Structure 1
Amino acid sequence: MKTVKIGGTNWTSSNVALGIMRMGTLAVADCARAIEAAHAAGINFFDSADIYGNDPVLGRGSSEIHFGQALKQTGLSRDDFYFQSKAGLYANADNKITRYDSSRDHLLKAVDGILQRTGVEYLDSLVIHRPDALMDPAEVAVAFDKLQASGKVRHFGVSNFNPAQVALLQSALSQRLLVDQVQFGLKHTGMIDYDFHTNMTDDGSINHDGGLLDYCRLHQMTIQTWSPFQYGTFAGTFINNDRFPKLNDQLAQLATKYQVSKNAIALAWILRHPARMQVLIGTMNPTHIADSAAGSDITLTRQEWYDLYLAAGNELP
């Protein structure tokens, strides 16, 4: 398993992380097996959010409850892993988002809830889950200072923020924002499509995110990629999907060459980019965790990377 320095600091982690969103519906024993499989594959970074899981009995945040219980079964110590969680979303009983909240009181309360549910002593990183139109950077700064001074949170980041939003928040903080967590993968390539279509007038030339990729590289922010095997946002996986025959044929050829799974090749495609991203995988299947994580050690050739990009339905001008 290769590593990445988070946010250009000396904080070094596996460049593949396991997201625990789906733990809320699993038996604790199955969660423990997923954690153990990740650890065996070299993954030492777990990503969560206080909104993950809505068990009928445990309520909202059940993924973190199960994660904490499963950790005890694994016997892993706190020094064996990094733990990151996100805060700032509200959802109703039907899982429909009803508001974003980056207020001081909410962030402080959210962290206390995360620590209580998981049973961990501190967060290695707290991430604001979505841009909040009512966000007051000065208020967020007070919350971050309190959380860091208390030892509850060591580092901070954002998710789904564009460059202007990052810069606005960063202007008020005493801490550096180390990560921006966004969707990226072979069927969600907007961050790089724009680069190829500079000074053109086709759809690919539309700048949807304010040049996020270049901004993060210039400011040494680690891009954490969520849903790397999904098409659309949550439409489904493109792996072994009959809707994407060319992409799957290309993935299969390279999987055979490197003697790994298609998932590993799709993951290796992300990590081949020089931005030194960190890929968040969300499967709870121990075999799939190991299969996907194997992509960390594969370095695709330049032509293989571009062949996959084209097979995914993209064009080069």
Structure 2
Amino acid sequence: MSTYAIQQHFPRASKLAYGCMGLGGSWENNELASTDKYQAQSIIETALTNGINFFDHADIYTLGKAERVFGQVLIEQPTLRDQMIIQSKCGIRFDDESGPGRYDFSSKWIEESVDGILSRLNIETLDILQLHRPDPLMNIEEVAPSFEKLQASGKVKHFGASNMNHHQIAYLQSAIKTPIVANQIEISLKQLGWLEHGVLAGNPNGEHGNFTPGTLEYCQLNNIQIQAWGSLAQGLFSGRDNSSEAHHIQATSTLVNKLAEQYQSNPDAIVLAWLMRHPANIQPVIGTTNIERIKRCVAALEVNLSREDWYKLYVSARGNALP
């Protein structure tokens, strides 16, 4: 795959996405503060100025406040919408009077969720809607008509998945006419399951992994953009205190800093460049609310790690030599 899959649908889509989970203040039912709006505006402007035009939401982020504060910025600066690609997710329901925390891909919940997303974001069309986590009770004969209805009405352009393996995506795709365009999963220099299942094929050491073999390959074959949430590993290798972590984590942090000097870049950029060096053309989703760190992340686009340096990081992060 020579280009990013998402660019087939959105040619101007940035190779980095900004994850909006940190917008809107706390995860409590309180009103948005003026500081929340100022933060959102500053982050949006910084992202766009530095070439990041892809924004990732979910209806649950800060209990809907992430979308609401983003929407407030768009109300005051409506021309920004034309510069953006906006995706959001639905399907996660919190504990309430009706039941425990659960997943819901019923047509009623999907359609109501999209209406809520559009209202909070103050937009008419969502570029991508992702189903947030696999719902064991998903009925594809119910999901498919909802997708068709949402697309026909102009409320959603494209659809994607989040935290799904390739079997689940293929099953969903079998019922819908429009192609699934993205799958967002946890991928980072710390979360290595996406690599380990392939490297440990036929090796007993790989039997306990929780990343279904073939997911990356399926997405590549079917032009599904792989998006990486948790891509910065919460700063584990790029500045966070890791003095209590295992030796191989500390050693990997040291290596990241060494490579940052070697490539005349910075540790955050190296961590992201390692992901982007993979031929699947992974689109990292960064969620930092630190303005300067957003700028540092963009430097990843200028780093092309050698094969040897990529493997140095991989072997160091896994803590053991390859089999």
- Whether TM-score is above 0.5 comes out as yes
Structure 1 residues 49 and 206: CA distance shift in structure 2, 3 A: closer
Q: Which amino acid aligns with 2:168?
A: Q
Matched, 1:18 2:24: no
Residue aligning to 2:28: none
Structure 1 residues 278 and 72: CA distance shift in structure 2, 3 A: same
Residue aligning to 2:40: 31
Structure 1 residues 291 and 97: CA distance shift in structure 2, 3 A: farther
Residue aligning to 2:67: 64
How far residue 237 of structure 1 moved from its aligned partner, in angstroms, is 3.5
Residue aligning to 2:31: none
Structure 2 residue corresponding to 1:90, chosen from 89, 93, 106: 93
How far residue 260 of structure 1 moved from its aligned partner, in angstroms, is 2.1
Normalised by the size of structure 2, how large is the TM-score? 0.88
Give the whole-Å Cα distance in 2 for the aligned partners of 1:206 and 1:18. Answer: 28
Which sections of structure 2, spanning at least 5 residues, go unmatched?
A: 26-34
In the alignment of these two chains, the number of paired residues is 303
Residue aligning to 2:56: 47
How far residue 30 of structure 1 moved from its aligned partner, in angstroms, is 1.0
Does the residue aligned with 1:28 lie in a helix, a strand or coil? helix
Which sections of structure 1, spanning at least 5 residues, go unmatched?
A: 54-59
Query: Deviations 1:22-64 (Å, cap 9, x if unpaired)?
Result: 10206100111011111111001000000001xxxxxx20110
Residue aligning to 1:239: 238
Residues 1-317 of structure 1 mapped to structure 2, 5 A cutoff:
4-6=4-6, 8-9=8-9, 11-25=11-25, 27-53=36-62, 60-73=63-76, 76-92=79-95, 98-203=101-206, 206=209, 208-230=211-233, 237-240=236-239, 241-242=242-243, 243=245, 244-312=249-317, 313-317=319-323
Residue aligning to 2:32: none
Does the residue aligned with 1:77 lie in a helix, a strand or coil? helix
How far residue 92 of structure 1 moved from its aligned partner, in angstroms, is 3.5
Q: Which amino acid aligns with 1:214?
A: E
Note the aligned Cα RMSD (angstroms): 2.0
Query: Deviations 1:192-214 (Å, cap 9, x if unpaired)?
Result: 11111222222478573132111
Does the residue aligned with 1:86 lie in a helix, a strand or coil? strand
Which structure carries more strand by proportion? 1
How far residue 17 of structure 1 moved from its aligned partner, in angstroms, is 0.5
Q: Is the contact between residue 197 and residue 212 of structure 2 (CA under 8 Å) also seen in structure 1?
A: no
Give the whole-Å Cα distance in 1 for the aligned partners of 2:231 and 2:263. Answer: 20
Give the whole-Å Cα distance in 2 for the aligned partners of 1:294 and 1:29. Answer: 25
Does the residue aligned with 2:73 lie in a helix, a strand or coil? helix
Give the whole-Å Cα distance in 2 for the aligned partners of 1:206 and 1:61. Answer: 33
Normalised by the size of structure 1, how large is the TM-score? 0.90
Give the whole-Å Cα distance in 2 for the aligned partners of 1:82 and 1:263. Answer: 24
Query: Deviations 1:62-117 (Å, cap 9, x if unpaired)?
Result: 11001111234556432101000000001238xx9701001111111001000100
Q: Which amino acid aligns with 1:20?
A: C
Structure 1 residues 314 and 180: CA distance shift in structure 2, 3 A: farther
Q: Which amino acid aligns with 1:155?
A: H
Give the whole-Å Cα distance in 1 for the aligned partners of 2:255 and 2:76. Answer: 40
Q: Is the contact between residue 124 and residue 155 of structure 1 (CA under 8 Å) also seen in structure 2?
A: yes
Residue aligning to 2:30: none
Does the residue aligned with 2:183 lie in a helix, a strand or coil? strand
Q: Which amino acid aligns with 1:254?
A: L
Give the whole-Å Cα distance in 1 for the aligned partners of 2:148 and 2:106. Answer: 13
Q: Which amino acid aligns with 1:111?
A: V
Give the whole-Å Cα distance in 1 for the aligned partners of 2:123 and 2:208. Answer: 45
User: Once the two structures are aligned, what percentage of the paired residues are identical?
Assistant: 41
